[in-house]
Amino acid sequence: MPELPEVEAARRAIEENCLGKKIKRAIIANDSKVIEGISSLDFESALLGKTIVSAHRKGKNLWLHLDSPPFPSFQFGMAGAIYIKGVAVTKYKRSAVKDNDEWPSKYSKFFVELDDGLELSFTDKRRFARVRLLKDPTSVPPISELGPDALFEPMTINEFTDSLSKKKIGIKALLLDQSYISGIGNWIADEVLYQARIHPLQICSSLSKENCATLHNCIKEVIEKAVEVGADSSQFPSNWIFHSREKKPGKAFVDDIRICTGLAEIEWNSSYKSSR
Query: DSSP state, 22?
Result: B
Catalytic residue among 2, 5, 104, 200: 2
Residue tagged active-site, from 3, 6, 8, 113? 3
- Cα–Cα distance, 124 to 163 (Å, whole number): 36
One of 50, 58, 60, 172 is an active-site residue; which one?
60
SS3 label, residue 164: helix
User: Are the C-beta atoms of 260 and 272 separated by less than 8 Å?
Assistant: no
| CA 14 – CA 85 distance, rounded (Å) | 11
Q: Which residues contact 64 (CB under 8 A, 6 or more apart)?
A: 14, 52, 54, 55, 56, 71, 72, 73
Please state, in angstroms and rounded to a whole number, the distance separating the CA atoms of residues 233 and 255: 18
3-class SS letters over 181-250: CECCCHHHHHHHHHHHCCCCCCEHHHCCHHHHHHHHHHHHHHHHHHHHCCCCHHHCCCCCHHHHCCCCCC
**β-bridge partners, 114:** 23
Decide if 2 is catalytic: yes
Is 3 catalytic? The answer is yes
Query: Of 102, 137, 136, 272, whose CA–CA distance to 198 is shortest?
Result: 272
Of 151, 169, 163, 172, the closest CA to residue 231 belongs to: 151
CB 59 within 8 A of CB 182: yes
Q: What is the DSSP letter of 100?
A: T
Instruction: Give the active site residues.
Output: 2-3, 60
